[in-house]
Amino acid sequence: MHDIREVSLTTQAYALTREEFHAAVKAAAPYRGQRRLAAATVALVAAFHAAFLYLGIPPSPLMLGAAAVLVVLAVPVPLLITAHAYRAVRDKGEGRCVLDGEGVGCHWSEEAQRMPWSAVTGFRETDEMFVLLVRNGLKQGILAVPKRVLTGPGEAELLGALLDERIGRR
């Protein structure tokens, strides 16, 4: 049997739908920790506010303002970032991915990008796709590979095994 690390997979040309993109972002969960931190901070501010009222101390407008800013930043900002990222992906058009011994390559009509396996920090697998978590310097991103574009016999299982071997599930 051949070494799984020597396998080369090429996807069909594909463009992500909005639903697929949002599912990939949800699987990668880049904002989960930030929203939890903001919710915990707001709860803490509310508890202090209630304690101050109980003790007869007037509430600080600065604390209430800080809690309002956190709520505003924690809810709509990630949605705006995700919408902007989807438009950037959509504008690239159809692309093709190559996963081989050297790393991951993505090719669009006017652009190509190649990443070594060391740039792929993890991956998530859902019923519909593989979501690769990538890092380029200080930038983090995701690469979604829908299983619908892996049309060869056993390609989805082969890609899962290749990703397990190369980077492992994190």
The full set of domains in the chain, from first to last, is 4-28+94-166 (2.30.29)
3-state secondary structure of 56: coil
32 has a pLDDT exceeding 70 = no
Continuous H helices in the chain: 18-28, 32-55, 61-74, 76-92, 155-166
Per-residue model confidence (pLDDT) at position 31: 62
Per-residue model confidence (pLDDT) at position 129: 92
Q: What percent of the chain has pLDDT over 70?
A: 92
Each residue's pLDDT tens digit, 56-86: 888 778 877 877 787 777 777 777 888 888 8
pTM: 0.74
Per-residue model confidence (pLDDT) at position 41: 77
What is the average pLDDT across 128-149? 88
88 has a pLDDT exceeding 60 = yes
**Banded model confidence at residue 135, pLDDT cuts 50, 70, 90:** confident
- CA gap 148, 101 in Å, rounded: 23
